[in-house]
Amino acid sequence: RLLGEGKGHVLDLCAAPGGKTLQLAAAGWTVTAIDQSESRLARLSENLERTNQSAEIVTADLREWSPKTPVDAILVDAPCSASGIFRRHPDVLYRVRPAIIAEMAELQRVILTRAADWLKPGGTLVYATCSLEPEEGERQIEAFLAERPDYALLPITGEWPGITEKGTIRTLPTMLAKEGRLDGFFIARLQRKG
């Protein structure tokens, strides 16, 4: 919903197993789903077939792949430390260390920087992680915007849990306790100027 109704070509980066790909296709977008995991993309393909949706599926490393032409929208569901899912997967608390966070933040920076070059002027880029770490969320976007004056934060409004003063979304596992709680995640919506 953060990208709106499908009005063009969208890249779903780090797409497998494809839940967001299915939603984008159902909303009317022409979707190219990219991920480096062949086995997870096979699940995405099965899910598309099962739901009678379509998308172009590309197996590639985003540090090397590029689209042939600029696109209208991009969803970056970036690889991350996954510290926000500890409620469902408590083992994550024993695995996430500063070195892992730094490694993930650098990979996110590379993917976000490359993706930004693929968007048409006026297009929308949504960046998301299931991390509680500012290095993978707020600080990542602040650093990106400082480096890319051709981008601006496009504030998220409406009935969303966790909307911040800046117009990003930051949810915490303690939110919506009566409904079963949320995972922790961060979302920012950006627009390329022009």
**pLDDT tens digits, one per residue of 98-107:** 999 999 999 9
In this structure, what token pair is assigned to residue 40? 């997870």
Average pLDDT, the chain: 93
- How does pLDDT run across 141-155, given as a tens digit for each residue? 999 999 999 999 999
CATH of domain 9-192: 3.40.50.150
How many CB atoms neighbour CB 75 within 10 A? 25
Residue 183, marked binder: no
Residue 77, marked binder: yes
| CA nearest neighbour of 27 among 5, 42, 44, 8 | 5
Residue 193, marked binder: no
pTM of the model: 0.94
- Residue 88: pLDDT over 90: no
For helices 38-51 and 19-26, angle between their N-to-C axes, nearest 10 degrees: 40
For residues 72 and 6, the answer to whether their CB atoms sit within 8 Å is: no
Report how far residue 191's alpha carbon sits from residue 194's, in angstroms, rounded to the nearest whole number. Answer: 9
Structural domain spans, the chain: 9-192
In the set 34, 130, 188, 190, the catalytic residue is: 130
- Residue 80 is a catalytic residue: no
